[in-house]
Structure 1
Amino acid sequence: MSYDGVGLRAVLRSAPFLTAGALVVPLLAGCGSDEKPSKPLAGQDIAAVTRDKVASGGTLKWAVDAVPETLNTFQADADAGTTRVAQAVLPSMFRLDANGTPVANPAYLESAKVIATEPRQVVLYKLNQQAVWSDGREIGAADFVAQWRALSGRDSAYWTARNAGYDRIEKIERGANDLQVRVTFSRPYADWRSLFSPLYPKSVMGTPDAFNDGARRKLQISAGPFKVEKVDTAKKDVVLTRNPRWWGSPAKLDQIVLHAVTRDQRVSALADGTVDLADIDVSDAGRIGLAGSRQGMGSPLRGGGKTSARKLRSWALAHGLGADEVKGDRKKLGKAISRYLKEQQELQAVEVRRSLEPAYTQLALNGSQGPLADERVRRAVARSLDREELAKAVLTPLGLPAVPVGSHLALSGQAAYADGSGALGDQDTGQAEALLADAGWVAGGPVKEERKGEKAAGSQNRKGDKGDKGEKKSDGGDDGAYIVGEDDKGRYHDSASASSEERPEKGEKDEKGEKHRGQGGAPGAYAPQGTAAPAGVVSRPLAKDGKALTLRFVLPSGPGSDTLNTVAERIAAMLQKVGIGTVITKVSDESYFKDHIAAGDYDLALYSWPSSAFPATDARPIYAKPVPAADGSVNVEQNFTRVGTDQVDQLFDQAAATLDEDEERSLIRKADSRIWAAAASLPLYQRPQLVGVRKTLVNAGAFGFQTPVYEDMGFLRKGAKVPAPAPEAK
């Protein structure tokens, strides 16, 4: 599982893009003639300069999660690293602009347009006459044909992840000359611009063996500003070097090295120069910001006498040192603090560039069984949430626009975007309570006592659940699960987040001189797994048929999950106000998707989906109605909430089949409003994009919607300066 932003099509071809989560929608028709298009909430932050200010030469070391398992983006295990390689070394007929809109790529295309619709849709590609593969051969119809045949789905020998769009092609022919390619479709296809991006040479696509194995660890032929020099699994590197046959503006950099670095090691890698560019989490961004402002640089190790171990631990905790380092003896702790301070000095050469990813965080509600199988309960959950508050909690501290996402299928700035949350309505406690009452959940109703061997509410046996004996112990907290509550001062606490070093003993005064009442004391105090949350606002929990309304909220526990924890705690507190209890269960990153999201072993979960420029194609499997398979199982495709309708499926099919762009947008918006109405997927906020970057690196950083321009990346020429950003128009 990754908390990274990745290439949209690559993610949607494989597993879902997991990380944070969301809420509401309206019944919108088409875009009116006087409707103003939306704008991106945040632009690129890449220290943009003209090419003359970029020095020639140098190596850019770029952190990725792992060395890609494959360099073929059309295989199921393609990842973010695969996408980065493809963008730098292969042709793409279209790339995304600053609004997330596909535009023709002039390096490869003179033009591409629909030249006929009857009796068949025909698209004519006119290729750039300079466009050649690195072996000298012209890019042409033979490459288009080989890719179509490989991805059409007609030959099962090709191990493809998806065939969308290619399965609608009837034939591909040479046009009036070698630079023209005519693509004829058997059925109309609105998202034809999504095809042949990237385009692989016929040597990769021409045979099943070449497709399945030939491009997994090497690409001998390329056609971009860079080429693949080598994949070094021992050093965890993919090395890209300048392509001498590139016809466009020559790459400024000699090399781009994609280097695998785990999330928890990225600040150290930026400090020691192992990498120059890395996606980072909120805590790392804060640390880099402190280094830049020179705050918090004072050492607790200075002074005549020895600093006590307790004070050193307190300092270490306040500065975010790891739990293992904090728990060590005084000598080990002193070394960790010295290393931290050295890194802070080195991090003064690094800055954080920030934007918003083309992805949103959502709250997923598993509607396959349990209380959330009732649409009224799902709607009540939605009406209980203040999405604006959740967006502010995540984005405001980062200086980013805190605007709730209003669509499942597009983001602000994209042509299809419109706020559809009116299909559910805004936060309204009264309406939420009325929906719950209508569904039969009664405040203060009788709750049957659990018998020995019975599972706690919210932990029902589901597919993939091994039961009590087979359950693996979670590494997410003391017991793997905890209840979120609110104390008598309105502060949120949880039963697993504080270490023993932070917990005052019973009766001991805290830093403010207030006595701590110990376990079993104040509301929100630490409690063992399965203990009911202190009511706070709600004095009587909701119950039905002898069972309390308690939902199991599953979260990942690995690096980068702090933001999710904050969001989950706030959601739990909001639900508590209407009588819905939550048990937060933390699981390892490795099992989060496979054993819980994909297996349906959760009630509530937070993860992210990328926004696509082609929602009619890419979003359909995410919201498709689950259907019974021949073996008796249910095929959910990528719809992990397991809630769908025939009407939504029909709207997607209609949108994919129209060549009228206004009609397509109208159909996409109607589909979105009905997805909102089903209340199984609740978009919350656009994900922050935080990138640690060496200050001298330009034309790189937080790219937002836009496809990176790899040939323009490099290091600032001596004496040149990055211009100050222009003020945004209001």
Structure 2
Amino acid sequence: MNRSANPPVLRAAVALTAGAAMTLTACSSGGGAAGTAGTDIATVSRAGVRDGGTLRWATDELPRTLNAYQADADADTLTIAGATLPAMYRLDGHGSPRADSDFLASADVAQSPRQVVTYHLNPKAKWSDGQAVGAADFVAQWKALNGKNSAFWTARNAGYDRISDVRQGKDAQQVDVTFASPYADWKSLFSPLYPTSVTSDADTFNDGVRTKLPVVAGPFAVEAVDTKKGTVTLDRNKAWWGEPAKLDRIVLTAVPVDKRPAALAAGALDLAEIDPGAVTAVTGTKGLAVRKAPDAAYAQLAINGSTGPLADERIRHAVARAIDRKAIATAVLRPLGLPDEALGNHLVLPSQDGYRDNSSALGTNDVQQAQALLADAGWTRSNAKTGDQAAGGPGRTAASGAVTVVEPAAAVSKAGKQLTMRFVLPADSPTLDDVGTRIASMLSGIGIRTEITKVAGDSYFQDHIASGDFDLALYSWPGTAYPATDDTPIFAKPVPAPDGSLTVAQNYTRVGTDQIDQLLDRAGGELDTSAARDLTSKADARIWAAAGSIPLYQRPGLVALRTTVANAGAFGFQTPDYQNLGFRK
């Protein structure tokens, strides 16, 4: 079950396994067939949902914090925030922000002489301690997140650092937020909104809400975090002013992905995201069903351009041209009955409004052109033997996993060295095994030799991706409603640090250009939606041309659920309406 597609923290790159990128986002009233509105939800009218019950929901692990603005926040942090805290805007099935009327009656935007957003709050909105949700909460959150007070351990300050002032307007329900410079993604701010008791004190912000949220303002409240049982229990919030939650409680339970089908069949779970390989088993079990929709995330091939042959753009283009992205998308998605088109955009996904295919900036799958690019860079067919020295990037560490070598019939070489790519994959993923093998085979067709190394999932990113210890890798990024803000750290040009190292933020491929940075920066400050989309599209075209990241397909969202479960399923970008989750009458 997909969750918040626009998390406020640094977005985490994840392996392409089912449970790795679950980020809970919401159900307004609609469902829709898989692949149309980007959702597949077991939609039931509120009148058709029975009162009471406990929804047992599989999750990856217990959250390390309940503060969504800290670096160690994860998808489950966002799930809990979505059910318990205010959000001014939530996403619909097309990834577009919509005002949440339980908290926000309306918002006005003035653009001159400065951008000023005036929030008109729902007068009924209050915290569980009886205090009204108001300007004081906005002020405290802005000051905690704007980056000026280093005592607050924040993951990032995007947007909040552009605000020059926050204050109460003409009455207690009006909040005026003034920006020092235009900010197109202002709807991403104050979602979630924490109470002043959390954001006005650095110690509480940093450590005080790791396992509890004593004050909430949502249909649910945090009842307990049980580290021994691996559960987080959310109880119905008795102080909630909106339509009351249908469920008595939601119990988030840490269950490994491979054990979820058995737990569902045994009646220990009601709802769980699953791997593609488990679909047949689940659908063959009485009382269970699988909902399918494009997920709010995409799979990509990362090409490390920091050193070695791949520092040459011609080699990166040759690799990209050799890969049949359509064939890969078809292999992964068609058996699931999902749209199997290759992904043509890094910043906007096909189920979102404003999607454009900009892959022509790189070119199409063309083996002959790929071979010509290699030849132009001095790599030609040779009779070099397998044991000859390889010319990859930084040295590999084979001790972390077995190495599988995919040999071409006739390898290309330069100065007596074969062109070899170190392809690093997380272990225990059948989908990755298939995709990685297909890519290696396609590269062998143009004379590139690959060494596939599988490493443990808990060390995959820290020890390999983040450190740059790979030539090629497969991992995914969450989609976002705010690409100019959220995707800038992913594609920004790396800059030298004072100690001589490279500051890459989340640009693990180390490939970027000044033009990409400028286009994303302009998009982030463009208040005209159409103009902002044009700038974002131009930035995406330049990202394609740089050939550091090759999108493959929008990931499948596969959610197994008991057939009695109502208003849950594969949400895609859509934010769940927690008070309507439950069981059919």
Return the TM-score normalized by structure 2. Answer: 0.95
Q: CA deviation digits over 1:157-187, x for unaligned, max 9?
A: 0000010000011011111100000000111
Task: Please state if 1:108 is matched with 2:103.
Answer: yes
**What is aligned with 1:238?**
232
**What is aligned with 1:546?**
416
**What is aligned with 1:205?**
199
- State the 1:80 CA deviation: 1.2
- State the 1:632 CA deviation: 1.6
Q: Distance in 2 between matches of 1:357 and 1:458?
A: 37
Distance verdict in 2 for CA 1:458–1:96, change over 3 Å = farther
Q: Distance in 1 between matches of 2:447 and 2:174?
A: 64
**What is aligned with 1:170?**
164
**What is aligned with 2:390?**
457
Q: Identity across aligned pairs (percent)? A: 56
**What is aligned with 2:252?**
258
**What is aligned with 2:550?**
682
Unmatched 5+ stretches in structure 2: 19-33
Task: Please state if 1:666 is matched with 2:534.
Answer: yes
- State the 1:17 CA deviation: 2.9
Distance verdict in 2 for CA 1:590–1:448, change over 3 Å = closer
Equivalent residue letter for 2:15:
L
Task: Please state if 1:656 is matched with 2:524.
Answer: yes
**What is aligned with 2:220?**
226
**Match 1:81 to one of 62, 76, 85:** 76
**What is aligned with 1:420?**
358
**Match 2:318 to one of 361, 380, 386:** 380
Equivalent residue letter for 1:7:
S
Q: CA deviation digits over 1:305-345, x for unaligned, max 9?
A: xxxxxxxxxxxxxxxxxxxxxxxxxxxxxxxxxxxxxxxxx
**What is aligned with 1:483?**
405
- State the 1:348 CA deviation: 1.6
Contact in 2 for aligned 1:10/1:78 (Cα 8 Å): no
Distance verdict in 2 for CA 1:610–1:698, change over 3 Å = same
Unmatched 5+ stretches in structure 1: 22-38, 292-346, 451-455, 475-479, 485-532, 718-730
CA RMSD of superposed structures (Å): 1.8
**What is aligned with 1:694?**
562
Provide the secondary structure at the position in 2 that maps to 1:111: strand
Contact in 1 for aligned 2:4/2:575 (Cα 8 Å): no
**What is aligned with 1:325?**
none
Contact in 2 for aligned 1:447/1:546 (Cα 8 Å): no
Distance verdict in 2 for CA 1:154–1:592, change over 3 Å = same
Q: Distance in 1 between matches of 2:61 and 2:466?
A: 22
Distance verdict in 2 for CA 1:19–1:593, change over 3 Å = same
**What is aligned with 1:25?**
none
Distance verdict in 2 for CA 1:378–1:218, change over 3 Å = same
- State the 1:446 CA deviation: 5.2
Return the TM-score normalized by structure 1. Answer: 0.76
- State the 1:126 CA deviation: 0.1
Equivalent residue letter for 2:553:
Y
Q: Distance in 1 between matches of 2:418 and 2:353?
A: 44
Contact in 2 for aligned 1:360/1:611 (Cα 8 Å): yes
Contact in 1 for aligned 2:6/2:481 (Cα 8 Å): no
**Match 2:462 to one of 577, 580, 594:** 594
Equivalent residue letter for 1:713:
L
Contact in 2 for aligned 1:14/1:78 (Cα 8 Å): no
**What is aligned with 1:271?**
265
**What is aligned with 2:53?**
58
Contact in 2 for aligned 1:58/1:255 (Cα 8 Å): yes
Provide the secondary structure at the position in 1 that maps to 2:422: strand
Equivalent residue letter for 2:10:
R
Q: After superposition, where does 1:274-673 map in structure 2 within 5 Å?
A: 274-289=268-283, 291=284, 347-444=285-382, 450=388, 457=390, 460-462=393-395, 472-474=399-401, 480-484=402-406, 533=407, 535=409, 540-558=410-428, 561-673=429-541
Q: CA deviation digits over 1:242-273, x for unaligned, max 9?
A: 11111111110000001111112111211222
- State the 1:286 CA deviation: 2.0
Contact in 2 for aligned 1:623/1:639 (Cα 8 Å): yes
Q: After superposition, where does 1:22-33 map in structure 2 within 5 Å?
A: none
Q: Distance in 2 between matches of 1:349 and 1:128?
A: 41
- State the 1:663 CA deviation: 1.2
Distance verdict in 2 for CA 1:280–1:90, change over 3 Å = same
- State the 1:120 CA deviation: 1.3
Q: Which is richer in strand?
A: 2
Provide the secondary structure at the position in 2 that maps to 1:251: coil
Q: Distance in 2 between matches of 1:43 and 1:430?
A: 37
Contact in 2 for aligned 1:40/1:99 (Cα 8 Å): no
Provide the secondary structure at the position in 1 that maps to 2:167: strand
Provide the secondary structure at the position in 1 that maps to 2:475: strand
Equivalent residue letter for 1:87:
G
**What is aligned with 1:13?**
10
Q: CA deviation digits over 1:591-625, x for unaligned, max 9?
A: 11111111111111000011110001000000000
Provide the secondary structure at the position in 1 that maps to 2:151: coil
Equivalent residue letter for 2:412:
L
Q: Distance in 2 between matches of 1:147 and 1:222?
A: 15
**Match 1:48 to one of 43, 48, 59:** 43
Q: CA deviation digits over 1:655-690, x for unaligned, max 9?
A: 111211111111100000000001110000000011
Distance verdict in 2 for CA 1:685–1:427, change over 3 Å = same
Q: CA deviation digits over 1:615-665, x for unaligned, max 9?
A: 010000000000011122110000000000001001111111121111111
Contact in 1 for aligned 2:348/2:355 (Cα 8 Å): yes
Q: Distance in 2 between matches of 1:42 and 1:122?
A: 33
Equivalent residue letter for 2:425:
L
Contact in 1 for aligned 2:188/2:482 (Cα 8 Å): yes
Distance verdict in 2 for CA 1:567–1:41, change over 3 Å = farther
**What is aligned with 1:497?**
none
Contact in 2 for aligned 1:11/1:17 (Cα 8 Å): no
